[in-house]
Structure 1
Amino acid sequence: MFDKVVPTRAYSDVDVLEEIPLPNGDVTEGVVRVGDTVRRPVGPHSALVHAVLDHLEAVGFAGAPRFLGIDDQGREVLTFIEGEVAGRPHPSWIADEERLLSLAGLVRALDDAMIDFGFPDIDTETHPDPPGIPPPQQRTFEFIGHRDITPENVVWRDTEAYALIDFDLVRPCSRMLEVQNALMYWAPLSHPRDRDPDQIDLDVPRRCRLFADAYGLSREDRAILIDDLIYGTERSWHLMRDRAERLGGGWARMWDEGVGDQIRRRREWLLVDGPAVTAALLAE
């Protein structure tokens, strides 16, 4: 077990610089750019995030921000990565197959870089499962994964996936779970009603196969990916509702905007169309 807890280190600005607000994520507010750095609020997850980013820097993985320290306002300071990031509404290029393949290579490189990190003994203050939720699947974890590979969290240079940002959801993971998470947004594994306009008519099984091949996902992992996601969508519905009620903020906003209905529609679509995805993943 990796038991090193990275101590908090201070970051001091040499000059007073303008703070430029950056687009917030679904639940993280107060993110700003200051010069060539990004400032973000810290939370229960931050010690693990900082340890992950320090590890990636140590092994020479270029596709992630560097953790520089904590500023005098108590915010984490990260390097700003220049490039293009998809905003909302998403640009049409999220449907491009060449970008899909490039992203698969970046995700594989990240996961390979995390293998030697192990599983840190860092308290992230996880909350007990809410009543009524199906029990978690029995898993064998392989590394600490990103697990939030949304269009908003990928930095592009030209048409190449250059870096991943927003590591707030890093947690124990497997190669199947990491690929599954990416495909939810980039295939996408969602009901057509909930896709971007440029994704509605995509050949989702083909895109899943392309990504899995480019990543190098094993046949064993391909066989269980869809069934695992079908089960996981029910857990997701309960978890999202619990966070909305317990934490409020962005979680409540997403729930009010209908994310629970989207999760249920995803499950309905997977039950009908998921077998075609699995067939494509396993085709010889």
Structure 2
Amino acid sequence: MIQDGEEIPLLGGDVTEGLVRVGDTVRRPPGERADLVRDVLRHLEKVGFEGAPRYLGVDSTGREALTYVEGEVAGRPRPRWIADEDRMVSVARLLRAYDDAVEGFGLPENLPPPIEPPGLPDLNDPPELVGHQDVTPENVVFRDGRAYALIDFDLARPVSRCREVVNLMLWWAPFGDDADLDPLLRGLDRARRCRLLADVYGLPETDRRRLMELAIGLNERAWHTMKYRAETLGGGWQRMWSEGVGDQIRNRQDWLEANADALTTALLSGRS
């Protein structure tokens, strides 16, 4: 039985509210695809993947109960190590391990549709596995200077491996104009960092050639989806939109288009 106890608020997330720690567990309200998250976490436990919390059930108030993963998380303000390349590549290594572990779960059918506006263009990107799709600094737990676990699987969904790497690069290269980045992430060699992430993940050449086109398409969809969620869901989505996330996405679109050729060249450097 899941025990109740003293609740310690957990801060730092952009959207999910009401996260608390109770002893060695985390309690959180169910997300939009709670059944999928539950089944994915149970699969990861079954196959022995260590880099994710364990799903424990539902507590007396209807919240999900997960194991609390000890370690460092890069909240805000960002820690001084946020741009460290060794930590960055350890995130790529962890994401690859997760994707390999979850691949055997397969592609579930009859999922509830994502909360996004109708009529978004097809990206011609068939799914291969249930990706995490939210590998932000807040959602990676570090131990001893390396990425140890992924948390917050609320945005998990069927995607391609290339789309997983786009999300990885979005946060850890990172994508975007320096003016919109944290001061500790400005002035970095983004081409080099993208190449390192792709190499450590083991992204094949075919995906490297199409990665920037996919990144640009996903970024365009993100603007429409963020606006739609702000209007229909409110809460943290509306707060982020009011704080200017739409303008940041538009600025990032300009940056992606201006740097697409250089980043693709770096991704393919040394490959025939």
Within the candidate set 76, 81, 106, 1:93 is matched to 81
Post-superposition Cα deviations, 1:24-59, rounded to whole Å, max 9, x if no partner, equal 421100000000000000133100000000000000
Q: Are 2:187 and 1:208 equivalent residues in the alignment?
A: no
- Check whether the contact 1:27–1:251 (CA below 8 A) recurs between aligned residues: yes
Using a 3 Å threshold, how does the CA distance of structure 1 residues 65 and 257 change in structure 2: closer, same or farther? Answer: same
Q: Are 2:134 and 1:148 equivalent residues in the alignment?
A: yes
Paired position in structure 1 for 2:225? 239
- The residue correspondences of 1:1-40 to structure 2 (distance < 5 A) are 11-13=1-3, 16-40=4-28
- Check whether the contact 1:44–1:125 (CA below 8 A) recurs between aligned residues: no
Paired position in structure 1 for 2:180? 194
Q: CA deviation at 1:127?
A: 3.9
Task: Find the aligned partners of 1:170 and 1:47 in 2 and give their Cα distance.
Answer: 11
Q: Are 2:257 and 1:257 equivalent residues in the alignment?
A: no
Q: CA deviation at 1:255?
A: 0.3
Task: Find the aligned partners of 1:65 and 1:128 in 2 and give their Cα distance.
Answer: 27
Task: Find the aligned partners of 2:114 and 2:264 in 1 and give their Cα distance.
Answer: 32
Identity of aligned residues (%): 57
SS at match of 1:117: coil
- Check whether the contact 2:73–2:137 (CA below 8 A) recurs between aligned residues: yes
Aligned length: 270
Q: CA deviation at 1:175?
A: 1.2
Q: Which amino acid aligns with 1:12?
A: I
- The residue correspondences of 1:33-112 to structure 2 (distance < 5 A) are 33-112=21-100
Q: Which amino acid aligns with 2:74?
A: A
Within the candidate set 114, 122, 125, 2:102 is matched to 114
- The residue correspondences of 1:150-189 to structure 2 (distance < 5 A) are 150-189=136-175
Task: Find the aligned partners of 2:54 and 2:224 in 1 and give their Cα distance.
Answer: 34
Task: Find the aligned partners of 1:246 and 1:149 in 2 and give their Cα distance.
Answer: 24
Post-superposition Cα deviations, 1:189-222, rounded to whole Å, max 9, x if no partner, equal 1111111111111000000001110110001111
Task: Find the aligned partners of 1:139 and 1:100 in 2 and give their Cα distance.
Answer: 26
Q: Which runs of 5+ in 1 are unaligned?
A: 1-10
Task: Find the aligned partners of 1:97 and 1:184 in 2 and give their Cα distance.
Answer: 15
Q: Which runs of 5+ in 2 are unaligned?
A: none
Q: CA deviation at 1:107?
A: 0.5
Paired position in structure 1 for 2:111? 123
SS at match of 1:103: helix
Task: Find the aligned partners of 1:32 and 1:128 in 2 and give their Cα distance.
Answer: 28
Task: Find the aligned partners of 2:259 and 2:196 in 1 and give their Cα distance.
Answer: 17
- Check whether the contact 2:116–2:229 (CA below 8 A) recurs between aligned residues: no
SS at match of 2:13: coil
Within the candidate set 231, 234, 257, 1:248 is matched to 234
SS at match of 1:113: helix
Paired position in structure 2 for 1:4? none
Using a 3 Å threshold, how does the CA distance of structure 1 residues 134 and 73 change in structure 2: closer, same or farther? Answer: closer
SS at match of 1:232: helix
| TM-score, L = length of structure 2 | 0.96
Task: Find the aligned partners of 2:168 and 2:27 in 1 and give their Cα distance.
Answer: 26
SS at match of 1:209: helix
Q: Which amino acid aligns with 2:37?
A: V
Post-superposition Cα deviations, 1:67-95, rounded to whole Å, max 9, x if no partner, equal 00000000000000000001112112111
Q: CA deviation at 1:269?
A: 0.7
